[in-house]
Amino acid sequence: MEAAIRFEGVRYAWVDEDDGTRNPVFDGLDLDLPRTVVSLIGQNGTGKSTLLALAAGSIVPDAGRVLVDGTDTRELRDEPTRQRKVSFVWQNMEFETKEPIGTLLETVHAGGFHAVKRPGFVAELVEAFALAPVLARRTQEVSKGELQRAILAFGLLYGSPLLVMDEPIFALEDRQKERALEYLCAYARREDVGLYFSLHELELSRRYSDHLLLFRRGEPPLLGPTAELFTRETIERAYEVPYDMLKRREALYRKLLTDTLRVRPTS
């Protein structure tokens, strides 16, 4: 399968703002990501968010290069240029707007890069992401869950051929997470769009992906079909804990997140 995103000899380290210490994440990474639905899984601190940011051109390598559909991300210097190639959605995005969300959806669609702008596409996204109750409200007037669902819609309306998403459903209720992932996967497959995302929930990663990119400490990430790579043995090796303990830890994380979000309830 032809690569949609290619990492060639990529070296990257993040710099601690307090003491200037360089913390290596990748050193000579070679990786080809196919144009399909790929879920990134692995322990925190193993490079998932960094790889997604590199893939989206939000950051560039210290050495080597990242190619998105054949274009070096160093050439994607401004947001409109990047969005012609790739859209990036990350968790906890917050911004204030003057226009209501309904107007913004239409504006993004009109200015996006879909070769054919289907008249009913905005309405389809409003239905898919349950946005009808917030169309007349501004982004600063909605809950975290409502805002995140609107951001997912914006990401699709740009019409980018590649979608990169870091924890895109973190603020959604369980039923909304599955509904959103079902639509995102169906859209990607229908439109031949590459979809690359990370989730904290392994079962959702397994169910809603064609390929997995498994991150392991001290080793390069491992790419393969989900049906082949998602095994108890492989997961336990990557996370360095028994699978049952990992499932309990996930449940505790979801409860903590839900309790935190109740300060501003999702809808």
Write the pLDDT tens digit of every residue in 51-102.
999 999 999 999 999 999 999 999 998 888 999 999 999 887 888 899 999 9
**What pTM, to 2 d.p., does this model score?**
0.91
Task: Spell out the residues 6+ positions from residue 81 whose beta carbon is closer than 8 angstroms to its own.
Answer: 75
Over the stretch 125-156, which tens digit does the pLDDT of each residue have?
Answer: 999 999 999 999 999 999 999 999 999 999 99
Region 158-170: what's the mean pLDDT?
95
**Quick one: pLDDT at residue 158?**
95
Check pLDDT > 50 for residue 267.
no
**The pairing of beta strand 86-90 with beta strand 162-166:** parallel
Is residue 4 a contact partner of residue 34, using CB atoms and an 8 Å limit? Answer: yes
Q: pLDDT tens digits for 31-57?
A: 999 999 999 999 999 999 999 999 999
Backbone angles phi, psi at 191, to 5 degrees: -95, 5
Report pLDDT for 194. Answer: 98
Output the average pLDDT for the chain: 91
C-alpha pair distances (Å), 226 with each of 135, 212, 237: 37, 5, 16
* CATH no. of 3-261: 3.40.50.300
